[in-house]
């Protein structure tokens, strides 16, 4: 891929991460566990897992945004570093959103065919949380489609270098 294309994708990801961070920060700053009014300890424990996943996603997004900004400003443009960063963003942010390491929610891939949101929670969650994830999903889906190339391309490069 040419430098121009990689740099434009980096800028697109930078914009996506900026919007994602703002949305997650706004939600995290305005919402507490006690506002969800968990009815049981099991419900409380699940909400903690969901909040933990959102915080982790926020941190990964902030770190990735910093990396994007540095690479975009660097002269000359470092294409190999940018591709590696996009690969890392794909795994740390995008994959973590659709399939968190801790079971906060899951992706129902069949929903994509019906036009509905594909993120499903294991248990019932408050509407504000459902709307947050629903609002984020479209952007994550779009960036996932853009960055899937780096998943296969980067792995191919690693295998060929051995």
The pLDDT score that the predictor gives to residue 112 is 60
Q: What tens digit of pLDDT does each residue of 77-90 get?
A: 999 999 999 999 99
Q: What is the pLDDT of residue 90?
A: 95
pLDDT reported for residue 114: 65
Look up the pTM and report it: 0.89
Q: What's the CA gap between 51 and 3, in Å, rounded?
A: 38
Asked if pLDDT for residue 122 goes beyond 90, the answer is: yes
pLDDT in tens, 20-49: 999 999 999 999 998 998 889 999 999 999
Among residues of the chain, what percentage have pLDDT more than 70? 89
Beta strand residue intervals within the chain, DSSP E: 105-107, 119-121
Which pLDDT does position 110 carry in this prediction?
Answer: 78
CA 149 to chain centre: 16
Is residue 107 a contact partner of residue 98, using CB atoms and an 8 Å limit? yes
């Amino acid at each position: 891929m040419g430098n121009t294309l990689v740099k434009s994708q980096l800028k697109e990801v930078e914009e996506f991460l900026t919007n994602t961070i703002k949305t997650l920060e706004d939600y995290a700053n305005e919402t507490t566990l006690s506002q969800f009014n968990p009815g049981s300890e099991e419900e409380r424990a699940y909400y903690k897992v969901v909040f933990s996943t959102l915080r982790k996603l926020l941190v990964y997004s902030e770190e990735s945004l910093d990396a994007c900004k540095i690479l975009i400003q660097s002269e000359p443009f470092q294409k190999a570093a940018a591709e590696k960063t996009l690969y890392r963003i794909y795994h740390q942010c995008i994959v973590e959103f659709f399939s968190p390491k801790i079971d906060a929610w899951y992706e129902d891939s069949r929903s994509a065919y019906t036009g509905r949101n594909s993120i499903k929670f294991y248990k019932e969650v408050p509407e504000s949380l459902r709307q947050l994830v629903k609002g984020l999903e479209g952007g994550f889906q779009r960036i996932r489609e853009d960055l899937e190339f780096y998943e296969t391309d980067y792995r191919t490069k690693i295998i060929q270098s051995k």
